[in-house]
Amino acid sequence: MHVRRKLVAGNWKMNGSRAALAELAAIAAAAREASGVDVAICPPFTLIPLAVPRAGGLSIGGQDCHAEASGAHTGDVSAQLLAEAGARLVIVGHSERRADHGETDGAVRAKAEAALAAGLQTILCVGEVEEERIAGGHVEKVLFQLEHSVPELRREAELVIAYEPVWAIGTGRTATPDDAAEMHAAIRRALTERFGDAGARVRILYGGSCNAKNAEALFAVPDVDGGLAGGASLTADAFIPIIQAAARS
Ligand code: PEP
């Protein structure tokens, strides 16, 4: 049985500002107190170099990267550029990127490969839409995404999976602990079948309206190794209770 440290990561999406970086001091202090928990914040690209010197006990990450190291890709950012800016991690395959930018599982896999090769911890998101859950195909959908978007594991960096039901993102609706238990166990089985013992070390986060009220119950579920929070990561007041819930679990 593997003991996996909890990870609580915040995705600021296209929110935040220079002024919002003031939130990081309190979040970093809470992260230092929660010694058994890893904490990360992924602000917009432009804030990364400003966030890094304020990070203290936190890791700063990006929200996306290009699959190529460099080239004619206007507006994109490579994993190497993120690492050079001081990022230690990156989110790939977020459902908003899949929906807004038509990212396929193949594209997500290529991004994850690039991120891992650049030495970044890589949070790869998967999750079903509501119609798939209602039709009973949610587990099958997520396992398909995993099979086609998760690359081979590399030693230089760590892969993390975030299970984010799309219907729960930004809606205030959350998977129940039973829903999360079913999906996280299925993801764990798929990872260990493919990667053996290394699959048991991959952390699996829950994301989707994770907040101070529901985090503790979700983090108590076996194979829920922490959370990826969007809205609740924008302020220290909302994010710190999630870090503390992870420290208690
Ligand atoms: C997210 O963007 O990854 C997310 C989980 O958002 P929210 O917590 O706002 O639902």
pLDDT at 51 over 80: yes
Instruction: Select which of 103, 132, 164, 184 is catalytic.
Output: 164
pLDDT at 2 over 80: no
Confidence of residue 3 (pLDDT cuts 50, 70, 90): confident
The reply to whether 33 belongs to the active site is no
Q: What is the mean pLDDT of residues 143-150?
A: 98
Q: Of 236, 204, 234, nearest to 219 (Cα)?
A: 204
Give the distance (Å) from ligand 1 centre to CA of residue 209.
Answer: 6
CA dist 197 and 220 (Å) reads 22
pLDDT at 168 over 90: yes
Which residue type sits at 127?
A: G
Q: What is the mean pLDDT of residues 127-155?
A: 96
The reply to whether 164 belongs to the active site is yes
Q: Of 52, 126, 63, nearest to 89 (Cα)?
A: 63
Query: DSSP states of 115-167 as a string?
Result: HHHTT-EEEEEE---HHHHHTT-HHHHHHHHHHHH-----SSS-EEEEE--GG
Give the distance (Å) from ligand 1 centre to CA of residue 127.
Answer: 12
pLDDT digits (tens, 9 = 90+) for 218-238: 999 999 999 999 999 999 999
Q: Is the CB of 228 under 6 A from ligand 1?
A: yes
Give the distance (Å) from ligand 1 centre to CA of residue 68.
Answer: 27
CA dist 225 and 8 (Å) reads 9
Q: What average pLDDT does the chain have?
A: 96
pLDDT at 1 over 70: no
pTM for the structure as a whole:
0.97
Q: Is the CB of 204 under 6 A from ligand 1?
A: no
- DSSP, collapsed to helix, strand or coil, labels residue 103 as coil
pLDDT digits (tens, 9 = 90+) for 56-110: 989 999 999 999 999 999 999 999 999 999 999 999 999 999 999 999 999 999 9
What pLDDT is recorded for position 230?
Answer: 98
pLDDT at 211 over 80: yes
List phi, psi (to 5°) of 152: -60, 150
What is the residue with the minimal CA distance to atom 1 of ligand 1? 230
Q: Is the CB of 158 under 6 A from ligand 1?
A: no
Pairing assessment for the beta strands 37-42 and 121-126 based on DSSP bridges: unpaired
* Choice between 1 and 213, residue whose per-residue pLDDT is larger: 213
pLDDT at 154 over 70: yes
What pLDDT is recorded for position 157?
Answer: 85
CA dist 205 and 225 (Å) reads 5
CA dist 248 and 194 (Å) reads 31
Instruction: Select which of 66, 94, 138, 184 is catalytic.
Output: 94
Give the distance (Å) from ligand 1 centre to CA of residue 173.
Answer: 11
